[in-house]
Structure 1
Amino acid sequence: MRNIVLVRIDDRLIHGQVVTSWVKQTNANRIIIVDDTLTKDVFMKRLLKAAAPSGISVNIFTTEDAVQFLKQDPDAGENIIILAKVPEVIEALIDGGVVLNKVILGGMGAKKGRSRFNKNVSASSEEVECIRRILEKGVPMYYQMVPSEKAVDVKKII
């Protein structure tokens, strides 16, 4: 299994907090975005890769390809951040056999069909159920925007 240093649900994917805080905190040198739709969007792939700090590899995988990649033997010194927009992707990784120690819930923006749980997290009833299933699988999940903030157990906000 590859060396996963952070798993984060954040619908903004690569942005200031990920680039400035989480990459430094985890000593990450690779970011893997798991999103079946983005793999087909050449423009967004270029944009996301350009948003990463110098020296950080960025891969954008389908869920299936991410499972296969993450289950491979680790490369020496590799530290991976996994980013996904929605909890369903994280559940699919777990169901595919990827071992995750914990998940950090960042931003899930408000949109139609979602209820607001705090300033930065809105989720549909289906997404809430998915988060509960992830927790039932034994993977802890915490809400934390940046490493300097205290992590809050997701059970307290959802």
Structure 2
Amino acid sequence: MGQIVLARIDDRLIHGQVMTAWLQFTGGNHIVIVDDATAGDEFTKSIMSMAVPNGIKLSILGIDDGAKLLADIPERHKIIVLAKEPQTYWQLIEKGVRFDEIIIGGMGARKDRKTFHKNISASEEEKETFRKIVGQNVKMKIHVIPDQGSQAIEGLL
């Protein structure tokens, strides 16, 4: 059976840090993006597929299909799960997907968000979702790139 080697919240989904640092750090060989809007946008899906190195499988799925794939990970798949928002992870957890740890990598500023920690922003709803996820014994931490330190979020909530 395969495994989840990284679960990351990043509103940019696939970008340079994911492709270089996290792929090498985790040994991931299958990126699973879980996002209903992205899964329904053929143009965005084609752009993202061009950003993935050869030999790395990419699946861009809505929440229901993402939950199905993550519930029964194929043999030898080392999966990096990417989602834009913590609510996506909460929905996956509600559908029975188990995570040991979820890292927050990139949550940028927008109207409903305030600074949460350094360059990470979160809305009150997102912070409440963090609390619910942590309440399910899932470790959550801010960890932008592998060679930098991480910060557990419990003390920030």
Query: What is the TM-score of this pair, normalised by structure 2?
Result: 0.95
CA separation in 1, counterparts of 2:154 and 2:3? Answer: 27
Shift of 1:127: 0.6
2:23 — aligned with what?
A: 23
Shift of 1:119: 3.2
> Which stretches in structure 1 are left out of the alignment for 5+ residues?
none
1:84 — aligned with what?
A: 83
2:3 — aligned with what?
A: 3
1:82 maps to a residue whose letter is V
Matches within 5 A, 1:5-154: 5-75=5-75, 77-154=76-153
SS at match of 1:37: helix
CA separation in 1, counterparts of 2:46 and 2:107? Answer: 23
CA separation in 2, counterparts of 1:137 and 1:118? Answer: 22
CA separation in 1, counterparts of 2:123 and 2:116? Answer: 10
SS at match of 1:131: helix
2:22 maps to a residue whose letter is W
Could you report, residue by residue, the CA deviation over 1:100-133 in whole angstroms, capped at 9, with x for unpaired residues?
A: 1100111100001111123321111101100110
| Regions of 4+ moved over 4 Å | none
Indicate if the aligned counterparts of 1:2 and 1:70 stay in contact, CA closer than 8 A: no
CA separation in 2, counterparts of 1:38 and 1:141? Answer: 24
> Which stretches in structure 2 are left out of the alignment for 5+ residues?
none
Shift of 1:73: 4.8
1:155 maps to a residue whose letter is E
Indicate if the aligned counterparts of 1:2 and 1:71 stay in contact, CA closer than 8 A: no
Indicate if the aligned counterparts of 1:106 and 1:120 stay in contact, CA closer than 8 A: no
| Identical pairs, percent | 43
Shift of 1:74: 2.9
SS at match of 2:64: helix
Structure having the higher strand fraction is: 2
Indicate if the aligned counterparts of 1:67 and 1:96 stay in contact, CA closer than 8 A: yes
SS at match of 1:89: helix
Could you report, residue by residue, the CA deviation over 1:31-69 in whole angstroms, capped at 9, with x for unpaired residues?
A: 000001111111100111111122111110110101111
1:45 maps to a residue whose letter is K
Distance 1:123 1:81, change over 3 A: same
